[in-house]
Structure 1
Amino acid sequence: MTDVLIFAPAPLLTVTLEGDHPGGDLHVHSGGQGVWQARMLRTLGRTVTIVGSFTGESGRVVQHLLGDEGIEVHPVVRTGRGPAYVHDRRTGRRTVVAELAGDPLSRHDLDELYAAVLREAMAARIVILSGPADEGILPDDVYRRLAADLRAEGVPVVVDLAGARLEAALAGGVTLAKVSDAELREALEIRGDSVDEVVAAGRRLRDAGARSVVITRAGEPLVLIDGEHARLVHVPRMQEVDPNGAGDSLLAAVVSALAEDRPLLEAIALGAAAGALNVTRHGLGTGDPEAIHRLRARVTIEEVGDDDAQVVTPDQLAARAEVDDR
Structure 2
Amino acid sequence: MSVTILAPSPTLTVTVEDHPQGSEIHVHAGGQGVWQARMLRRLQVPVTVCCLLTGEVGRTMQHLLEDEDVTVHALTRDGRGSAYVHDRRGGERIVVDEEDGDPIGRHDLDDLYAAMLRSSEDASVVVLSGPAGEHTIPADFYRRLTIDLRAAGKTVVADLAGERLEAVVAGAVDVLKVSHEELKADGLVAETTDEEIVTAMQRLRAEGAGAVIVTRAGDPLLLADADGILEVTPPPFEENETRGAGDSLTAGVIAALTRDEPLRDAITLGAAAGALNVTRHGLGTGDADVIESLREKVAVRELPSGDADDREPEGRVSPDGLAALAEPEEDER
Tell me the equivalent position of 1:290.
Answer: 289
Tell me the equivalent position of 2:228.
Answer: 229
For residues 5 and 18 of structure 2, what CA distance do their matches in structure 1 show?
A: 32
Q: Structure 2 matches for 1:241-280, cutoff 5 A?
A: 241-280=240-279
Tell me the equivalent position of 1:162.
Answer: 161
Aligned partners of 1:55 and 1:79 also within 8 Å? yes
Letter in 2 for 1:25: E
Aligned partners of 1:20 and 1:91 also within 8 Å? no
For residues 192 and 302 of structure 2, what CA distance do their matches in structure 1 show?
A: 18
Letter in 2 for 1:47: P
Q: TM-score, normalised by structure 2?
A: 0.90
Secondary structure of the 2:137 match is coil
Indicate the percent of aligned positions where both proteins have the same amino acid.
Answer: 55
Q: Structure 2 matches for 1:195-214, cutoff 5 A?
A: 195-214=194-213
For residues 88 and 69 of structure 1, what CA distance do their matches in structure 2 show?
A: 24
Tell me the CA shift for residue 20 of structure 1: 5.0
Letter in 1 for 2:121: M
1:130-159 Cα deviation digits (max 9, x unpaired): 001211111111000000111111111000
Tell me the equivalent position of 1:38.
Answer: 37
For residues 207 and 228 of structure 1, what CA distance do their matches in structure 2 show?
A: 13
Q: Structure 2 matches for 1:139-150, cutoff 5 A?
A: 139-150=138-149
RMSD: 1.5
Distance change >3 Å, CA 122–CA 71, structure 1 → 2: same
Secondary structure of the 2:90 match is coil
For residues 133 and 296 of structure 2, what CA distance do their matches in structure 1 show?
A: 37
Q: Which moved more, 1:33-42 or 1:90-99?
A: 90-99
- Kindly indicate whether residue 302 of structure 2 is the aligned counterpart of residue 303 of structure 1: yes
Tell me the CA shift for residue 236 of structure 1: 1.4
1:86-140 Cα deviation digits (max 9, x unpaired): 0011111111000011011111111110001011111101100000121111111
For residues 2 and 253 of structure 2, what CA distance do their matches in structure 1 show?
A: 13
For residues 92 and 78 of structure 1, what CA distance do their matches in structure 2 show?
A: 36
For residues 131 and 23 of structure 2, what CA distance do their matches in structure 1 show?
A: 29
Q: Structure 2 matches for 1:71-82, cutoff 5 A?
A: 71-82=70-81
Secondary structure of the 2:207 match is helix
Letter in 2 for 1:194: T
Secondary structure of the 2:285 match is coil
Tell me the CA shift for residue 193 of structure 1: 2.7
For residues 209 and 25 of structure 1, what CA distance do their matches in structure 2 show?
A: 47
In structure 1, the gaps of 5 or more residues are 312-326
In structure 2, the gaps of 5 or more residues are 313-333
Letter in 2 for 1:71: V
> Where has structure 1 moved over 6 Å in runs of 4 or more?
none
Letter in 2 for 1:252: A
Tell me the CA shift for residue 310 of structure 1: 12
Q: Which moved more, 1:278-287 or 1:223-232?
A: 223-232
Secondary structure of the 1:179 match is strand
1:264-302 Cα deviation digits (max 9, x unpaired): 122100000110110000000000111111110011111
Tell me the equivalent position of 2:112.
Answer: 113
Tell me the equivalent position of 1:238.
Answer: 237
Secondary structure of the 2:138 match is coil
Aligned partners of 1:7 and 1:128 also within 8 Å? yes
Tell me the equivalent position of 1:62.
Answer: 61
For residues 247 and 43 of structure 2, what CA distance do their matches in structure 1 show?
A: 13
For residues 296 and 11 of structure 2, what CA distance do their matches in structure 1 show?
A: 35
Q: How many residues are paired up?
A: 309
Tell me the CA shift for residue 263 of structure 1: 1.4
